[in-house]
Amino acid sequence: MDGATTRRRCGAIGFPDGSVRWRLWAPAVPSVELILIDDSERQCVVSMRRDGDGGYFEHTDPNVADGQRYFYRLHGERSRPDPCSLWQPNGVPGPSAVVRPDRFNWSDSGWRGVPLQDLVFYELHVGTFTREGTFEAIIPRLPALRELGVTTLELLPVNQFPGGRNWGYDGVLPYAAQNTYGGPHGLHKLVDAAHAAGLAVTLDVVYNHFGPEESYFHELGPYFTDAYKTPWGSAINYDGPGSDPVRDFVLDNARMWLEEFHLDGLRLDAIHAIYDLGAKHILQAIKEVAEDVAHRTGRQIHVVGESDLNDPRVILPPERGGHGLDAQWSDDFHHTVHALLTGERRGYYCGYGERHQLARVMQTPFVYPRDYSPHRGRKHGAPVPADVGGEHFVVCIQNHDQVGNRAIGDRLTALLNDPAKQRLATCLLLLSPHLPLLFMGEEYGEANCFPFFCSFCGEELIEAVRQGRKREFADFVESPEEIPDPADERTFQSAKLSWSWPEGSWHAGLRRLYQDLLAARKTWPGMRDFLQRSSRLLPDGAHGSILELTRGDALHAYLNLSNERQRLEKGIGGNARLSSEWTRYGGNRAGDGTISDLLPFECIVFA
């Protein structure tokens, strides 16, 4: 691929002389034709040359214009978009289009990224973050996010999915940025603008399955394996016969996002559903790609895995038997805080919500480090080595899954219906010795729900999704009619943010609390210490109502976990550095004077 402007092995690959080489891996197909479409919809059909015995087909044309549309015709019968397409101007069923990312005029040459310890993730869904629902519409809001104290945008998956409405986890073409969001050109503009605003951008990518509609990888070759099953069907083939090109497909995709789109990191979706028994796990290989891009570009790049296994091997280096990812999500933190403050215990909240568990999860990331889990009916997890800092774990009190996978998508604001509790949850998140993730709108107590939505084309699949959600949530609603119809555009529209926190409202006070605590994470010495941390319940380690959190040598926080005023022990107290119940945050405590007791659900920080 000498002279190519990309390291991608397949797809429409541009060269400096203006030529383009199309390359497709399709070992299950005897012949492939390239169909080029001009502005008058006339088609030029070219037979692609088989490249050796590896199942690759190639064709090169000189002087190919950007935007040139094309299809692949498989065995003279089925016309398909390019599985490595970077742009689908008319969506999944339409033709692919040539894009040369190297021709974008970047202005971020001085951008070096954000250190791991400084990551504050802001998870957003492009389609509902703004009324317009596009990449470029996010740009005017970047200064407000920077002012809030966020350091990293985390985009829910943006690869091409069927229709115009989807969370992104039903993606069909992993290389193409969603056309209704603005396509690859819009994504380039967003990333460049974010870097100019001092914000990193990470992308949620799905390497455990492909979407259920309009996916045709099975027609091309052994992309899937029957050796394993995922909740979404057959697993992707990472270790069976023919898996080498499949691994290349995924590794090239990771490299493309990081290198050609200048993204600062990847969040790998549900890695517990990625199966690989080979000597080098695909997760380790993805991390090595990220390290290579970081080394060559001089940028800090981070790879984070979502896993519910409570397995420290995710973040341990290969020399210690791990995959070497930079960080992993810890659902235990969310489940503990949520169950404790809402009282919910059904489903996967079974076995969570005890106060002593909160003391544990504020010190270590896992409630279940090889302990018996009632929900799973077995022991779960493994302990984290003592020398692993808390910056290797991402925690939250809300995210797209925990909100959207409810019957109506109701947020913590509605579930708690108590500003003091909401402020306490905020303090638990931002005082924790882990990396915090905010779900869009939580910083001001967004009231609009975030329900599940989609825009599949097949009525049979749509009806299956409708009925499946009704069965799943039958015990959580009085009537199945309460569950929003995922395919109804009104469901999608209802998820759009209000982006409103009027001055004087509790919403404005909550946002101010987020802003102050995020500023403290940057400047208070104790908040910079991710290794020295401890927490316990007072006055009784098993049933106490006050949680004491210590970080480093200088930060001491006391959180009242009850709805009653609690007296601080003798020797504790003084002038607080912060109280969640100060009037500036919407509470009932003046901002000065000695504090010797805690108001209901109040958090006090002495530093």
1 falls in which pLDDT band (50, 70, 90)? very low
- Each residue's pLDDT tens digit, 263-278: 999 999 999 999 999 9
CA-based nearest residue to 565, from 595, 528, 512, 601: 601
Strands 56-61 and 49-51: antiparallel
378 and 318 share one domain: yes
Q: Tally the residues of the chain.
A: 607
- Each residue's pLDDT tens digit, 94-151: 999 999 999 999 999 999 999 999 999 999 999 999 999 999 999 999 999 999 999 9
Which residues, in sequence order, are CB contacts of 331 under 8 Å at separation 6+? 308
Which residues, in sequence order, are CB contacts of 419 under 8 Å at separation 6+? 445, 506, 509, 510, 586, 587
Give domain status of residue 372, yes or no: yes
Instruction: Quote the CA–CA distance of 424 and 30 in Å, as a whole number.
Output: 62
Q: Is the pLDDT of residue 591 over 80?
A: no
Q: Is the pLDDT of residue 2 over 70?
A: no
Give the SS3 label for residue 96: strand
Give domain status of residue 501, yes or no: no
| DSSP string over 145-167 | HHHHT--EEEEPP-EE-SSS-B-
322 and 367 share one domain: yes
Q: Which of 102, 134, 153 is the last residue of a domain?
A: 102
Instruction: Quote the CA–CA distance of 540 and 272 in Å, as a whole number.
Output: 37
Give domain status of residue 521, yes or no: no
Report the CATH number at residue 97. Answer: 2.60.40.10
Of 319 and 2, which is predicted with more confidence? 319
57 and 144 share one domain: no
Instruction: Quote the CA–CA distance of 26 and 48 in Å, as a whole number.
Output: 12
Q: What is the mean pLDDT of residues 67-89?
A: 96
For 79, the domain range is: 11-102
Instruction: Quote the CA–CA distance of 407 and 435 in Å, as a whole number.
Output: 28
Give domain status of residue 3, yes or no: no
Burial class (CB in 10 A: 0-12, 13-18, 19+), 115: exposed
377 and 302 share one domain: yes
Instruction: Quote the CA–CA distance of 173 and 590 in Å, as a whole number.
Output: 55
- Each residue's pLDDT tens digit, 279-308: 999 999 999 999 999 999 999 999 999 999
Contact 605, 557 (CB under 8 A): yes
Which residues, in sequence order, are CB contacts of 413 under 8 Å at separation 6+? 422, 442, 445, 446, 447
Q: Is the pLDDT of residue 401 over 50?
A: yes
- Each residue's pLDDT tens digit, 369-389: 999 999 999 999 999 999 999
Report the CATH number at residue 225. Answer: 3.20.20.80
94 and 148 share one domain: no
77 and 129 share one domain: no
Which residues, in sequence order, are CB contacts of 531 under 8 Å at separation 6+? 387, 389, 390
| DSSP string over 235-284 | EE-SSSTTHHHHHHHHHHHHHIIIIIS---EEEETTGGG----SSS-HHH
- Quick check: is 33 catalytic? no
Joined tokens for residue 506: 């509790």
590 falls in which pLDDT band (50, 70, 90)? confident
The helix, strand and coil proportions of the chain, stated in percent and rounded to the nearest 5, come to 30, 20, 45
94 and 163 share one domain: no
Which residues, in sequence order, are CB contacts of 437 under 8 Å at separation 6+? 121, 122, 123, 154, 329, 394, 395, 396, 399
Distances in Å between the Cα of 455 and the Cα atoms of 402, 458, 480 are 21, 9, 20
- Each residue's pLDDT tens digit, 333-345: 999 999 999 999 9
Joined tokens for residue 99: 């894009």
- Quick check: is 77 catalytic? no
Angle subtended at Cα 544 by Cα 536 and Cα 367, rounded to the nearest 5 degrees = 50
Catalytic residue (choose from 82, 154, 269, 326)? 269
Give domain status of residue 522, yes or no: no
Q: What is the mean pLDDT of residues 507-521?
A: 98
* Dihedrals phi, psi of 579, to nearest 5 degrees: -130, 135
CA-based nearest residue to 124, from 335, 426, 399, 375: 399
Contact 559, 550 (CB under 8 A): no
Instruction: Quote the CA–CA distance of 601 and 607 in Å, as a whole number.
Output: 20
152 and 290 share one domain: yes
Distances in Å between the Cα of 586 and the Cα atoms of 422, 579, 595 are 11, 11, 18
307 and 401 share one domain: yes
Among the ranges given (31-35, 211-215, 523-527), the one the predictor scored with the smallest mean pLDDT: 211-215
Catalytic residue (choose from 154, 192, 306, 311)? 306
Peptide bond into 539 cis (omega under 30): yes
Percent of the chain past pLDDT 70, that is, above it, reads: 100
Check residue 470 and give its pLDDT.
83
Check residue 5 and give its pLDDT.
79
Give domain status of residue 460, yes or no: no
261 and 389 share one domain: yes
Q: Which of 385, 410, 440 is the last residue of a domain?
A: 440
Sign of CA dihedral 112, 148, 435, 344: negative
| DSSP string over 291-341 | HHHHHHHT---EEEE--SS--GGGTS-GGGTS---SEEE-HHHHHHHHHHH
Percent of the chain past pLDDT 90, that is, above it, reads: 88
Contact 441, 431 (CB under 8 A): no
Report the CATH number at residue 576. Answer: 2.60.40
Q: What is the mean pLDDT of residues 458-480?
A: 83
61 falls in which pLDDT band (50, 70, 90)? very high
CA-based nearest residue to 537, from 283, 245, 340: 340
Check residue 48 and give its pLDDT.
98
Q: What is the mean pLDDT of residues 465-476?
A: 82
CA-based nearest residue to 191, from 182, 200, 183: 200
Q: Which of 413, 440, 467 is the last residue of a domain?
A: 440
Contact 154, 445 (CB under 8 A): no
Q: Is the pLDDT of residue 353 over 90?
A: yes
Among the ranges given (68-72, 418-422, 454-458, 517-521), the one the predictor scored with the smallest mean pLDDT: 454-458
H runs (alpha helix) in 6-151: 126-129, 135-138, 142-148
Contact 461, 483 (CB under 8 A): no
Q: How many domains does one find in the chain?
A: 3
What is the overall mean pLDDT for the chain? Answer: 95
221 and 306 share one domain: yes
Give domain status of residue 188, yes or no: yes
Check residue 53 and give its pLDDT.
80
Give domain status of residue 267, yes or no: yes
Sign of CA dihedral 144, 147, 148, 152: positive
Joined tokens for residue 90: 């008319």
Residue 579 amino acid letter: S
Which residues, in sequence order, are CB contacts of 224 under 8 Å at separation 6+? 217, 218, 234, 235, 236, 237
216 and 91 share one domain: no
